Amino acid sequence: MFVSLILLWLCIWFIIIQLKSRRPKNFPPGPTALPILGNILQLSLENPLKDFERLRKTYGSVYTLFLGPKPAVIISGTKAIKEAMVTRATEFAGRPQDLFVNDVTQRKGVILADYGPSWKEHRRFALMTLRNFGLGKNTMEERIHGELQYTMNTLEQSIGKKPLSPQMMFHNMASNIICQVLFGRRYEYDHEFIRVIVQCFTENAKLTNGPWAMLYDSFPIIRNLPLPFMKAFKNVETCQKLAVSVLTEHKKTRVPGEPRDFLDCYLDELDKSINGSSFSEQQLTMYALDIHFAGTDTTSNTLLTGFLYLMAYPHIQERCQQEIDEVLGGKHQASFDDRHNMPYMQAVIHEVQRVANTVPLSVFHSTTKDTELMGYSIPKGTLIIPNLTSVLNEEGQWKFPHEFNPENFLNDQGEFVKPEAFMPFSAGPRMCLGEGLARMELFLVMVTLLRRFKFIWPEDAGEPDFTPVYGVTLTPKPYSMKIQLRETQQDGRQTHNRDSGE
């Protein structure tokens, strides 16, 4: 009798799973899904990007994969992604709320918040506050240049010594720039706060889009088992404790109505909030960590990609330096406005962003209502994965889609142009809210460092490896750089390079 009941229960469970895995009417096509497993065996858990492109060639720009019993619609190509993210923006602006990344962040913050009044309120606040702290006496440019001095010192100290590994240098720099906006201070690079947070972010970025997160999302039965994904929960807990300590200090030292930074602005908002407001101290800690992660990982990885390619293509580096010298002349330091006179430098930075492809699958979306896409019916609550990789190297959208070439952003007259397929920050209402800061950082950092230094691939390092390490963000494999000091052309003097041995 007991055996019969077990068999009956298994049969019912199997039927339920089969029904869950069945495609709704007029749903996008896709490969046949196995019971329970879905299509997970057809994907590389280490890096599914090539699999997504392979399946696109078979099923088109909009197709379905089952992650376990759950359907996910993969959107590829400029036309389909623009229809979803721009034309039908609000219908595709949701965030799935039952994935690994939601559980790790306790469904707080702004990046992963579902589309609705709370998200709108917090995004509006973030945009306004980030904009306000870019104005006035302590401008964002001054903060970036101030932090750059520490990076310049690190580079100068490496001249004539063994090649420098820049990974932590760029992560620390980007982290400190956003720390000044969020927390009103910078940290020494060996300070526990920045050291621990950067380490936790780096580990979680690899876990979130890695094989263990995919297994967590596909098979809920394993979620409480002591598997490697549990490390991400511990990392977030560690970061929250650090954020709470900074918040406690702020509450003691703040002057209401005279905000020093993002935390003070939020606390001022809390003072004004009434019942029903989505603002809370619990929300604030994850909110600040959200923005800190977004402002650190993507920018530092883009810079790492940029200098890797500039060393591999020294003629491009030299042309950038020539333009920088001509435009800046005797100016003390670069301004963000100088970009308008540097079409080639602009093209190089944008080409770096294109090939870096830092967030290859954007942040997963979900539909907020029953909708349509490219003729297919998509029910409310469907998981949507925008494949930004497919846009950034799409045939027909770029002159040189599969190589590093600044000509992708220059017209026949040598003027800077931005093709519509350039969307490394995604598009629509869920577009990265730190885009403005990221663009300013990339320009000022790359121009300032290229003006001062020459970056050389070490002779004994073999050939550069451009294959990135896959995660929620793509990261270049660790590498080293040899540094030489430049003397830039000023007041008509001849430019020359001084070798590190002089």
Bin 445: left if φ > 0, else alpha if -120 < ψ < 50, else beta.
alpha
How many Å apart are CA 308 and CA 466, to the nearest integer? Answer: 8
CB 18: neighbour CB atoms within 10 A? Answer: 13
Question: Look-up: residue for tokens 């997963």?
Answer: 364
CB 208 within 8 A of CB 104: yes
The angle that helices 140-158 and 435-452 make with each other, rounded to 10 degrees, is 40
In three-state form (DSSP H/G/I as H, E/B as E, the rest C), the secondary structure along 308-353 is HHHHHCHHHHHHHHHHHHHHHCCCCCCCHHHHHHCHHHHHHHHHHH
Q: What is the full DSSP assignment across 74-140?
A: EEESHHHHHIIIIITGGGG-B--SSSHHHHHTTT-SSSSPPSSHHHHHHHHHHHHHHHHTTSSSS-H
Whats the size of the chain, residue-wise? 502
Identity at 277, one-letter amino acid code: S
User: What 3-state DSSP class applies to 400?
Assistant: coil
In terms of DSSP bridges, do strands 70-76 and 383-387 run parallel, antiparallel, or are they unpaired? parallel
Neighbouring-strand partners of residue 455: 483
Q: What is the DSSP letter of 417?
A: -
Residue 265, annotated as binding a ligand: no
CB 353 within 8 A of CB 339: no
Torsion of CA 239, 353, 140, 114, to 10 degrees: -50
Neighbouring-strand partners of residue 372: 377
Tokens representing 448? 């300032």
CB 450 within 8 A of CB 320: yes
Identity at 116, one-letter amino acid code: G
CB 461 within 8 A of CB 480: yes
Binding-site members for heme are 432
Binding-site members are 432
